[in-house]
Structure 1
Amino acid sequence: MTVPHVLRHWRDYLELCKPGVVALMVFTAVVGMLLVDPQYIHWQPMLLACIGIALSAGSAAAINHLVDRQVDAQMARTRARPLPTGNIRTVEAVAFAIILGVAGLAVLFFWVNPLTALLTFLSLIGYAFIYTLYLKRATPQNIVIGGAAGAAPPVLGWTAMEGAINEYSLLLFLIIFVWTPPHFWALAIHRREEYAKVDIPMLPVTHGDRFTRLQILLYTVLLFLVTLLPYLTGMSGLIYLAGAMLFGALYIYYAIQLKVSDDPALPMQAFRFSITYLMGIFAALLLDRYLPLAYNALVG
């Protein structure tokens, strides 16, 4: 992997990092940072934490590409990825993943704090190896168990600022953990035949379409209840509660439609909305925290 090669294929290397996924993870990490007591928020470690988390997440994504390269070549959704097309060789992807991972963890360890580096390392191992190498092919509950790694960013962000794990950060973890199965199962319904073709035991493949739609509805109702916890525990106020109830009602509507209708467009509509939902919930947390502060500053 040379610099000229990276420059020529920068779009392919960017694709290896799954930029959309990384952006969502950094966003939820930033929310975790900004919900910390203001006395702990400092912009330099915050920026460095974002860089370290993004690099580490990009490394995990690149490893995911490496492990799934043969499967990706057989699926319509993924056959145009850099490794199946040959735009990036396996050895180059390995080097790229190692460089990103080492750089990200080094930034976190030396310029943020060792605890954040350790937790980030564990989430990297959880996603890139435990989920991708084992769980994904071992059980239809793969995304339920493996979702723990993807739910870590708010905890990482909070820990980056405070230097300790806070119980409120674990509520944010819980929200993403419960959100992950209905989010991904909607995509799995849409891509059921492709997963079956490559023998990946996603829930729609092993238990059927109807059962998966029921599970999506049940998890969405559970998610609605879980998103009330920040208000019930005193972490947030009425602004967040209003946002959580609005977005939760919309998500339940999509889940009910998915359960009662066979419209082939609904699974992807529900999948896309689930991303909007998560961003909306976390944005509501920020608005709840900072709108009153802004108001008090203006009138004070």
Structure 2
Amino acid sequence: MNTKDKIQKFARELDEGLPLKHPSCWNESAESLELLELGKALAGQDFSVSHRTAVLSKVQSSTHFKQEVTNMKIKSSFRRPVMIMASILIAGGLSISFVKPSFAEELFGRVLQKINLGNIIASAKDPNVAPPFPEEWKGKLFDKDGTVITSFTKKLGEVYNADGEQIVNFDGDKLITKSEQEQRDKEAAARILAVKSQAELDKYALFKVKLPKYLPEGFAFDHGEFSKSEEGVNGKYLDLFFTSEHKGQSIKMQFRYSDKETAYEMSTSGKMEKVKVNGAEAVMMNDRTLDWEADGVLYGIATHGLERSEVLKIAESIR
């Protein structure tokens, strides 16, 4: 396996979280295992649990987080930003999540391919190009021994700020401490409206909610989540959760009313291709995530443990 393939494989494995829970399935070098442990340390906890309390994707789902940072348009499919930070620190180059576009360009290297679907833009980055250290982080990031971190070339464990507080996330170019993230999680959880029935989903959404007519065996729709505030429920964004009888398999979805506010960009250092979903152009990444627009709605599906053909079949059943 060449260097590029190894980096892409590592990025996918860290992204999916499998080796973090089952190290025995990562049959590579001790250095790879050490890097995976870095991702686990930075993540701090099982992000599938955090994401239930703090929102659908990376501590805050793009749904709820969008209200607080409307100037940020980078989106990664259902993953905590802390995992992105882990990938940056190891120069693994996973998808970008909620980073200011200018900051994203600073963090990630050369674009090999770009797919523009209008309100969805996807890029494939060169996995062999290590990201430069952001100017905004210089003098603010330290290792466990208190030594300032100035590049991504050395191996890192947990990382801290100048006051010795552990850094577990970032918001644009701002580094977020563990205590700050815990508070954000609590505040985000209080803004979630969980909905069980499709009739109620239609009541709050600003678009017709079309649940998939096909789900792989063992899967079932559980509930949807909207964000709420003193002004009411935000019907532009809907996160959908599904249960599974099979360990190691998952499906998560996000639907958005399509406009300039909800438009997003995403990036990967892995495989990216343009495909069709019911005649509409779509972007598939790493054979497991799918994004497209149809009838004024932006659709995003993130899966784990499913075949590529199954992912497409689920998407095509949304009519």
- TM bucket normalised to smaller: under 0.3
- Structure with the larger strand share: 2
State TM-score, norm by structure 2. Answer: 0.26
- Structure with the larger helix share: 1
Rg larger for: 1
